[in-house]
Amino acid sequence: IVGMGYYVYYRTQLSNAVLTNQLESSVRSKAEEQLSTTSKEQAALLNGFFESMGNNISTLSKIEKSMFSEEKRLIMVIFWDSSVSLFRLSSGTWDNSNTEVASIFIPADVELTDKLVSKLNVVKQTELIAPAILVDNPDIIAIYFGGTSKETVYFPNIDLANIVPPDFDITGRLWYVAASPDKNPDGNVVWSTPYQDAALNGLVITTSVPVFDSSNKFQGVSAMDIQLNRITSLISAIHIGDTGYALLIDKDNRLIALPEAGYKDFGVT
């Protein structure tokens, strides 16, 4: 009787262990499947967001290239004349009226030559396109063009000449250097690392692309500042099981998005 009792107990424990292992394996498999599916779905969603933004700036650069190709024809149509509309501030920098769609800035050490006047007259016509992109994409904070002569055309008009210093050199900005032919010979759309915007727009990333004329001569860089608040919200809304969550880091392991629970779990302040 004792031997039989021990045998029944042993077999019962063995069966329970097998069933427990099978249950754990099944739960683990389902959890992994859910995690994998959710990850792929959200990655596709996030990738679509960045691809859309990249397409916007790429399309704008192609339009600008086309405009430079038609420079002589375009300047014959009096759309805007920089030689008349620009004026010097007491600091020596060139400025335009705050009532215009775009801000214009030229450093104090740059002269307004005929060549630069013609170039600005062409680039300024992007205001027929850029405002619509801003309206259709609320995540885009600004669209701007930085030229090889250090000129800047910035949408929306934020009175740029009274914000940046008189010697501000846009050609030295990281997003400009990264997109220029020396660093980007294939002319690809490039992305900056995420950073906290000085104008309190939260986490921001800049995408930029070089602009060439019909002779493939480098004219400058077009760029967009994109706030990542919506990306952060999307990441925070992802739930895995009862307590699981998602986080987003960049290729250099910098944290971009993490829900409140994650800050507690990882001890991040």
Q: What local confidence, expressed as pLDDT, does residue 198 receive?
A: 62
Q: Where are the alpha helices (DSSP H) in the chain?
A: 2-69, 71-74, 82-85, 114-123, 130-136, 174-179, 229-236, 260-266
What the block records as the tokens of 85 is 């509309």
pLDDT tens string, the chain, 269 residues long: the values are 888 888 777 777 777 777 777 777 787 888 788 888 888 888 888 888 889 999 999 999 999 999 988 877 776 667 789 999 999 999 999 999 999 999 999 999 999 999 999 999 999 999 999 999 999 999 999 999 999 999 999 999 999 999 999 999 999 999 999 999 999 999 999 999 888 776 667 788 999 999 999 889 999 999 999 998 878 888 888 888 788 888 888 888 888 888 888 889 989 88
Helix, strand and coil in the chain, % to nearest 5: 45, 20, 35
